[in-house]
Amino acid sequence: MKLNELTIVAALEGLKKRRFSAVELTQACLDQIKRVDPKVKAFITVCEAEALAAAKKADLELKQSSTKPLLGIPVAIKDNFCTRGVKTTASSKVLENYIPVYDATVVAKLKQAGVVILGKTNMDAWAHGSSTETSDFFTTLNPWDIKRLPGGSSGGSAAAVVADQTIFAIGSETAGSIRQPAAWCGVVGLKPTYGRVSRYGVIAMASSTDSPGPICKTATDAALVLQVLAGQDPLDATTSPNQVSDYSKLNLPKKLKIGIPKEYFLSGMSKAVVTVVKQAIESLKKAGAEIKIVSLLDPKYSVAVYTIIQRSEVSSNLARYDGIRYGNSRQSFGNEAKNRMMLGVYTLSSGYYDQYYNKAQKVRTLICQDFDRVFKQVDLLLAPTSPTPALLLGASAKSPMFGELQDILVEASSMAGLPGINLPCGFSKTGLPIGMQLIGPQFSEALLLQVGHQYQQLTDWHQRKPKIVISN
């Protein structure tokens, strides 16, 4: 196995036992970026010199038996996380030359843990989308089939992980932007409980749901990263004071009851998704889990609620980009950003606030209460992550509600602030990865990671790799 193909666990072991150096590990990732990124287009910015310098520093610390938990491990960062001295664009021409003077808390914590930052990954501009086609610069392609989309908005991060351009990546989710691209690219994507990981220094989309999280090759890797990222941050008042669990303990409780929400198997859903997810359910059932069919609110209601609340918060958050304090003029906004801002202003305007925004917040409360009711019956929920495998390039241009429809199965849990994880669970007949999601009560990340780890001990879907054809 090539060094860039290693998991975090395997890379840490290799570094500790001096089988290879952090410089060699980093160089392997940089070489893979040079080899495949002209085809995949996952990165906006590659920090080669900075990465090699950080790797050299890591090697010196490794000789001194440092206890930093991710020392020498290469990572790719979604381009809506501020990185001091490194261009941060949110894939928008408004910020195409913006260089922050500080690090986002997530980035600061990763640096303290010893990571090597390879660069910044492409995304839908301002995270508005589920395809990475709304990036103002270029579209990231799915490594499994470059004629297809990687999902979004963290499409660049997911594509970089499955293409082995990095050992792991960081994404952010507002309503599916970690789990959905993870499903389409066949990797693990963990969306933590809202407030479990700091949003400070993340370019905001919808402040009441934005949740940073890891995109990895295994659930075990995701546990290691979350251990570093989780915790209260004095710079983010929405972070929780709850004690951080020990996510490294991956032993399952003896009795586990998994709920299967019947409403999440939509009519018109891809037959391949239904078949593969049901096979995954059977695997967990054979492993001893109790399976219970449950009922939740139809996910179509979350689409309406999310659309109104997210647009409203977008109109507020993007108001600061006036071309005076920083960034280019507002004429640089793309069509998707303009559409969302206009709808948000409309729903918040006098005469329409009660009719739309206030009503959406009331339904959001009902969604939260509905989950609370179901979690009195089961420990966690299992459902498909996306209604379809990866769609063809150009699909998002054909539907003004593309993102909402592709994220329909993850929006409700995001609006409720719940944690969720995507796990690769099979492939379509055409060789496209399919993902299932586990959703738990607030702050149940440890349980989700335990179940994810157990499932990956039973299957090898997460070990499958795409063959990226590089033309001369």
The catalytic residue positions are 78, 153, 177
Return the structure tokens found at 66: 């440092």
| CA dist 430 → 272, 391, 426, 435 (Å) | 10, 12, 11, 15
Cβ atoms 209, 176 nearer than 8 A: no
Cβ atoms 312, 347 nearer than 8 A: yes
AA letter at 359: K
Indicate the helix (H) or strand (E) that contains 316.
Answer: helix 300-317
Cβ atoms 215, 442 nearer than 8 A: no
Cis peptide before 245 (omega within 30 of 0): no
AA letter at 184: W
Q: Which among 292, 346, 357, 82 is positioned nearest to 199, based on CA atoms?
A: 82
Q: Which among 365, 382, 384, 386 is positioned nearest to 301, based on CA atoms?
A: 365
Cβ atoms 141, 164 nearer than 8 A: no
Angle subtended at Cα 302 by Cα 300 and Cα 304, rounded to the nearest 5 degrees: 80
Say how far apart CA 165 and CA 180 lie, in whole Å.
20
Say how far apart CA 305 and CA 134 lie, in whole Å.
22
Q: Which among 401, 406, 402, 408 is positioned nearest to 388, based on CA atoms?
A: 406
